Structure 1
Amino acid sequence: LLPTLLTPPITAFNAKALASLAQVASSAMTRRLPTILNALMDSMLATKDDELRTDLENSFDAVLLSIDEFDGLNTAMSAMLALTKHEDHRRRARADLHLATFFKTSDLDISRYYPDLIRTLLISFDDSDTEVVKAAWTALSALTGRLRKEEMESLVFSTRQTLNQVGVAGHNLPGFSLPKGINAILPIFLQGLMNGSAEQRTASALAISDIIDRTSADALKPFVTQITGPLIRVVSERSVEVKAAILFTLNNLLEKIPAFLKPFLPQLQRTFAKSLADTSSEILRIRAAKALGTLITLTPRIDPLIAELITGSKTADIGVRNAMLKALYDVVVKCGSSMNEASRTGILSLIDADTGDSDEASAITNARLLGALIKVLPEDVAGGLVKARVLTPDHTYPSVLALNSILAEAPESLTGPFADALPSTICSGIGSSQPAIADNCVLAAGKYLLTPTSDKSFEVVKQIMEALAAAIAPGKPVDTRRLALVVLRTVSREQNDLVRPHLALLTPAVFGSVRDMVIPVKLAAEAAFLAMFSVVEEEDAVFTKYMAGPGAELAPSPKRSIQDYFKRIATRLGAQARERREAEGGQGGLGLSSDEQEDMKEVWSVGKVDVESGAFKDE
């Protein structure tokens, strides 16, 4: 009978007959189920008769709903999943809509198919066809609506895994841009967050953050209370992992839709401040400090919070103290101009209380806080602090950290009133026998040369270049040599006109390290050599001019050696870099390459490159 009923084009009579047959002979039809469903789908798409299409759709639903759990369910699910992935977008959309009807109507236990169904439908949220996106949302919403609470909890991990495969963080997912878009999967994660195990709560919080990353502010707005309330309630959990995940998500939410979270600001501030004082986890404290820094820009009165942070930082626990100072730093950077006199005095007293024998992390945080504070202090007060803490007769670790911090945060406080003393302070520090002081003064030299307001007269720059060239010499500490080469490369790339007049001074020192046995020094020297002579941009033009001028005075052996190196190695390295740049869309196509970014980050660092962003990566 089936071949007759399925002969195309399927008529309204045959469609109704198939629906009737499915109700009485579903087990006999199981073997032919894919053929039946595909034939009905073909006729649905082929017909232009709306009434016939309705009969065909009703027949399709009847056949699908006629299957039983033990006979036909596996065949039906396989056929439907294949249709949802079909290359024809019309079949994908119709298959999703029929699945929605099935989920709403069928009482069968299809729990073993939930992960596959959610995966397929969620992936369709990024479909190129808008009708498929809408149909997938309808189906997934219907599926989520039939889930029991315990089923939701068991689906947290697989659903989050799929979510991470869909779209790109930072870009809106089409399915989440629909009205109530995120509600198709949000209930799964809210249930996991509120009632799951510690692992499920952690994964649920991070999954909500993944949703935030893929959803526009307007689409998130209706769900603010639904998301924020449970996050704040569950953050009191004993599990550090759960707390850290929730802080990560709350900070993400704050950055995405700050205006919509104003009703929750008092609760959020208490939550973050409490986590800041948590002695059990550094990641938790780092995330709390970051979140507090985001929240502070929305708070009308910052002085009570500053007072709380100052009090909290007077603790014996070094980790908590550092977290409090980092939070204070964020507050001063973002809202320092709004502080009252009492807050400024309190922070200054806190910095003055530093005895100088604190651990490295505390010293760096103190220095960064000082730099941020000087930016918002009156000029006379700032000047007094600079004299007392930076331009000291003898270099100390805190003084060179403060030097770097102020050059990064408030350079005008140094380059204006202390323009004469600053270069010699930097150069004497580069020559220090203490590696920590020398390294930080090398970085300060980089900041100075890259700062628009600094004195860049020939004599001043020459003084700094001489100090850097001396720091590169074999026998100096390895990291001092590498940092000096990184600074030269970065300055050559950003301000080549500063470097070119001093090629005669720098070239022998840099070339002396391109064959160094220490690989980081060798690589940094090669990169600096290419940047100094603009090999990537101008090929051999600058080098040829150098060899016709200062290079001509080199002794025969070094002269031959540098020419041979340029011809055999520098030219090849320059060509490779040029090809890579062109592949990225030409100069400036994709911004700096990764190693150039790392160099720039290192030059502008205070004490060491800030690696705290690792605390804000997904887990």
Structure 2
Amino acid sequence: ALADESEYVRDTALRAGQRMINLYADTAIELLLPELERGLFDDNWRIRYSSVQLLGDLLYKISGVSGKMSTETAHDDDNFGTESSQKVILKALGRERRDRVLAGLYMGRSDTALLVRQSALHVWKIIVAHTPMTLREILPTLFSLLLGCLASTSHDKRQVAARTLGDLVKKLGERVLPEIIPILEKGLDSDRADQRQGVCIGLSEIMKATSREHVSVYADSLVPTVRRALTDELPEVREAAAETFDNLHSNIGQRALDEILPVLLKQLDDDEFAESALDGLKQVMTVKSRVVLPYLVPQLTAPPVNTRALSFLSSVAGDALTKHLSKILPALLSALSCKMDTPEEAQEIEYCRTVVLSVTDDVGVRTVMQELLSASQSPTASECWSAVAILHTFCEKTSADYADYLPQLFRGLIGLFTNSSEKVLHAAWDCLNAVTKKIDVTEMFQHIADVRQAVRYAMSDYKGKELPGFSLPKKGIAPVLPIFREGILNGSQEMKAQAADGLGELINITSAEALKPSVVNITGPLIRILGDRFSWQVKVAVLETLTLLLAKVGVQLKPFLPQLQTTFLKALNDPQRPVRLKSASALGKLTVIHTRVDPLFTELHSAVKNASDQSVRDTMLQALRFCISGAGEKMSDASRKAIMATLVVLLGNQEDSTRTVASGCVGSLCKILPPEELTELMIQQLLDTAESGIDWTLRHGRGQALAVALKEAAPKVWTPTFQPDIIKCLSGLIDSDKVPLCQSGLRGLGYALLHQSMSSELSPELVSLLIKGLKKDSNDVKLIVTQVTCLIASSKTPLPMPVIKILIPALVMGTKEKNSMVKSSSEYAIISVLKLREGDALLKQILAELDAGMHDSLSDVVTKSLNKLCKQPEPSLDEIDDTILK
């Protein structure tokens, strides 16, 4: 009723309470007083107000004084009470209860409600004779109440207790500290958590109300108290103790750090106190990170690194952490390296994760990226793995924006895809996967150039053909595939071409096994693009990528075979020649996985016969050749004979390109011809290149077909039956004055020598025939000779010394040619023949065999040119087959 909303009800209840006190004050103190004491601390201010009034009436009744006098004076500490009335109250209530009542009244003077404050002050002035003396008497009881209220969940109670404490220090002066501090120290021994928490809050309030000099004087008592509170078993107490530490440090400075933190750090190694000490440090960090962190970091990062403590403290360090990352990150890396492949590895990564995920500001993110990417380049596998593992956890979970660092991340992580450590490879792959998953879909294709550049950078110093990081089984190119897929499907025309080219580059450097899971995701978008009306550059890029994919994982593409065949055949009729050429190449790869090829060969054969445009017919012939190479053996006899009949006629075609491509088809067919058909073709066509009676174009077509036959089907063609006639035929072509005939003879000779070098000893007679080409006037012919020489010298086994003795003098003379192409090609040919990139053993051998003049010439060439060329990257071999359109 005392708290009722109706003033009438409250007033009536108050009067009823006053009547009860008047009637029973002498006999029922035991019943009345406990209720009034509880009312003093009620959450409802009206009940506190009424309790103060009723308590006043009770005290007036006991002491015999009137409460109706005015107590309004200039000072709150003016008193109207008498010693005799106080003695009466003491006798009636007993010391313990008297102290509790007066302590409650004194706290009421600092109440949050004005009426309560006024009423409590009024009662205090009438009852108490001397405020400072009374306060000293009730100090222990007052503090017991204060400590409970300071730790209360009620905001009003905490505010009242804090005000009372400040007022107490003000009233009694700083001289009271010797009396207060022992009480507070004793409070830490209490079983009640709120009391221990209150001690900390109380100390904070006292320090706020006391001068710095006085706090310094009592630091010897305060420091152990705060230190002890920081390791209390309850987190609420530790949290309050951290605030106390904050105030203590503000007053005594460095001493607070020096005398508290080392003890807490030492307790981290004590199993009994480790948890509470760590949380104590964490709470201190929460309120004073900028001061505490510089003190703790050197201690925690010194070996053995305490990653557990670092993780707890970093989570509350805020921006202050950033300044110390350059020390913390190396320490984390060192600790994690030591735990690699141990049972503690996972836990250690978790600690490191907590530290780096505490970094959210721009400067901190930059430091994390720079430090970890730099450390990831370490030659030590454990250090490299540690850096990537921490980077992975940061990139995967952080809320910070690291978009500006994506190019560096791509370069750094893909650069690690050549690492020899399996663990590093998997870590780098996982990290790259986490990075790309965080990229918004609409922004993915913006990074195509970055990924392509990163891949080129990784492959630049790598000697293998496949990048180990992209060749991990069941993983492959999955992290970066969405970037290229998005570019192919939704990028601009130029972007689509770049994405397709980039995807082709990835396919090229990824193992077939690793590509398998991604086949569907790669092929679908590519087929879709080819079916739409896009620029020819886009189509060329897509066809190139599909060709590479077919070459790598052809069987996996069987489900797409019908769509791919239709798409490629359609592209074969495209107005743009590059599109037709790429589709011809792709169709050749597709036939490898084809089971029923006759309809395809029939369609290509018809297209060749019926094409009205010569350029289209040429690309159809090229497609036919590639299909013969890929699946000619699956062709029926009827199809093969029909195609052969058409091709033989084209060997004498007046159009150079048609004749050339058709001769390539005939040469490729030799590989699958039955013996009787091959013999007939060789005798009636390929070996019949004599000058008499036939046009030079037909000789040229037959000579080119023979060269391709020696390239594609040497084991069937270069036999004792045909060898003498082949040599005679090639010799006749080489001796011709017509450059194209001479070139086709030299190409055929080159393929014959290449086959011979793989199966038996090279014939010096054939090598001498090759060298005759260097005596021709045509630079194009000379160039073919040097290219053929490089081709036959490309095997790891050195050429026989008799052959080298024939080649070297001619090639040395070639280095003196005026034509720069011939000169350069001759130099590279000498390097290949003498294996100069591998050492000078063969050079010394041949120098000993040469006459003085040639000895000096060769030495001069080696000194002036070849030594420099050997230090440069080895160029790829020139393709000498000119029957493939480019």
Do the two structures share a fold, i.e. TM-score over 0.5?
Answer: yes
The change in CA–CA distance for 1:244 and 1:511 in structure 2 (over 3 A counts) is: closer
Give per-residue Cα distances to partners, 1:244-267, cap 9 Å, x unaligned: 222222222222222222222222
Q: Give the aligned partner of residue 740 of structure 2.
A: 436
Q: Give the aligned partner of residue 568 of structure 1.
A: 856
Give per-residue Cα distances to partners, 1:471-525, cap 9 Å, x unaligned: 7667x5454566578779989996877999xx8xx99999998866666677889
Q: Give the aligned partner of residue 156 of structure 1.
A: 448
Indicate if the aligned counterparts of 2:417 and 2:467 stay in contact, CA closer than 8 A. no
Indicate if the aligned counterparts of 2:413 and 2:428 stay in contact, CA closer than 8 A. yes
**Deviation of the 1:365 alpha carbon:** 0.9
Higher mean alpha-carbon deviation, 292-301 vs 572-581, is at 572-581
The change in CA–CA distance for 1:482 and 1:219 in structure 2 (over 3 A counts) is: closer
Equivalent of 2:537 in 202, 226, 241 = 241
**Deviation of the 1:193 alpha carbon:** 2.0
Q: Give the aligned partner of residue 146 of structure 1.
A: 438
Distance 2:344 2:320 in 1: 25
**Deviation of the 1:53 alpha carbon:** 8.8
Q: Give the aligned partner of residue 261 of structure 1.
A: 557
Paired residues for 1:117-516 under 5 Å: 117-167=409-459, 168=462, 170-174=465-469, 176-177=471-472, 179-237=474-532, 238-282=534-578, 284-313=579-608, 314-352=610-648, 354=650, 356-386=652-682, 388-390=684-686, 391=688, 393-409=693-709, 425-444=729-748, 476-480=777-781
Indicate if the aligned counterparts of 2:663 and 2:883 stay in contact, CA closer than 8 A. no
**Deviation of the 1:384 alpha carbon:** 4.8
Q: Give the aligned partner of residue 550 of structure 1.
A: none
- Residue identity matched to 2:570: K
The change in CA–CA distance for 1:184 and 1:373 in structure 2 (over 3 A counts) is: closer
Higher relative contact order (CA 8 A, sep 6+): 1
Distance 1:263 1:431 in 2: 53
Paired residues for 1:10-159 under 5 Å: 14-15=309-310, 18-19=313-314, 21-22=316-317, 26-39=318-331, 41=333, 60-69=352-361, 72-85=364-377, 89-159=381-451
Distance 1:248 1:465 in 2: 38
Higher mean alpha-carbon deviation, 320-329 vs 346-355, is at 346-355
Higher mean alpha-carbon deviation, 305-314 vs 376-385, is at 376-385
Structure 2 runs not aligned, ≥5 long: 1-291, 835-840
**Deviation of the 1:107 alpha carbon:** 2.9
Residue 183 of structure 1: SS of its match in structure 2?
Answer: coil
Q: Give the aligned partner of residue 558 of structure 1.
A: none
Residue 97 of structure 1: SS of its match in structure 2?
Answer: helix
- TM-score, length-normalised on structure 1? 0.74
The change in CA–CA distance for 1:317 and 1:446 in structure 2 (over 3 A counts) is: same
Indicate if the aligned counterparts of 2:445 and 2:487 stay in contact, CA closer than 8 A. yes
The change in CA–CA distance for 1:99 and 1:461 in structure 2 (over 3 A counts) is: closer
**Deviation of the 1:65 alpha carbon:** 3.3
**Deviation of the 1:5 alpha carbon:** 2.5
Indicate if the aligned counterparts of 1:171 and 1:213 stay in contact, CA closer than 8 A. yes
Distance 1:216 1:466 in 2: 43
Residue 184 of structure 1: SS of its match in structure 2?
Answer: coil
The change in CA–CA distance for 1:304 and 1:179 in structure 2 (over 3 A counts) is: closer
Indicate if the aligned counterparts of 2:474 and 2:517 stay in contact, CA closer than 8 A. no
- Residue identity matched to 2:853: Y
Higher mean alpha-carbon deviation, 432-441 vs 143-152, is at 432-441
- Residue identity matched to 2:493: A
**Deviation of the 1:161 alpha carbon:** 1.0
**Deviation of the 1:21 alpha carbon:** 2.9
Kindly tell me the number of residue pairs found equivalent between the two proteins: 561
Residue 107 of structure 1: SS of its match in structure 2?
Answer: coil
**Deviation of the 1:364 alpha carbon:** 1.0
Give per-residue Cα distances to partners, 1:62-92, cap 9 Å, x unaligned: 4533444556443444344444445664454
**Deviation of the 1:327 alpha carbon:** 1.7
Quote the RMSD (CA, aligned, Å): 4.8
Higher mean alpha-carbon deviation, 479-488 vs 402-411, is at 479-488
Indicate if the aligned counterparts of 1:443 and 1:483 stay in contact, CA closer than 8 A. yes
The change in CA–CA distance for 1:418 and 1:37 in structure 2 (over 3 A counts) is: closer
The change in CA–CA distance for 1:51 and 1:20 in structure 2 (over 3 A counts) is: farther
The change in CA–CA distance for 1:280 and 1:541 in structure 2 (over 3 A counts) is: same
Higher mean alpha-carbon deviation, 39-48 vs 326-335, is at 39-48
Structure 1 runs not aligned, ≥5 long: 544-562, 585-589, 613-619
Residue 257 of structure 1: SS of its match in structure 2?
Answer: helix
Q: Give the aligned partner of residue 555 of structure 1.
A: none
- Residue identity matched to 1:367: S
- Residue identity matched to 1:539: I
**Deviation of the 1:358 alpha carbon:** 3.7
The change in CA–CA distance for 1:394 and 1:129 in structure 2 (over 3 A counts) is: closer
Distance 2:504 2:589 in 1: 16
- Residue identity matched to 1:323: T
Distance 1:537 1:94 in 2: 50
**Deviation of the 1:158 alpha carbon:** 0.5
Q: Give the aligned partner of residue 539 of structure 1.
A: 846
**Deviation of the 1:448 alpha carbon:** 6.1
Indicate if the aligned counterparts of 1:11 and 1:52 stay in contact, CA closer than 8 A. no
The change in CA–CA distance for 1:321 and 1:70 in structure 2 (over 3 A counts) is: same
**Deviation of the 1:303 alpha carbon:** 0.8
Distance 1:302 1:271 in 2: 16
**Deviation of the 1:176 alpha carbon:** 4.0
Residue 199 of structure 1: SS of its match in structure 2?
Answer: helix
**Deviation of the 1:142 alpha carbon:** 1.9
Q: Give the aligned partner of residue 2 of structure 1.
A: 293
Distance 2:718 2:491 in 1: 55
- Residue identity matched to 2:854: F
- TM-score, length-normalised on structure 2? 0.54
Distance 2:751 2:682 in 1: 17
**Deviation of the 1:305 alpha carbon:** 0.8
Residue 612 of structure 2: SS of its match in structure 1?
Answer: coil
Residue 650 of structure 2: SS of its match in structure 1?
Answer: coil
Residue 297 of structure 1: SS of its match in structure 2?
Answer: helix
The change in CA–CA distance for 1:541 and 1:394 in structure 2 (over 3 A counts) is: farther
Indicate if the aligned counterparts of 1:446 and 1:487 stay in contact, CA closer than 8 A. yes
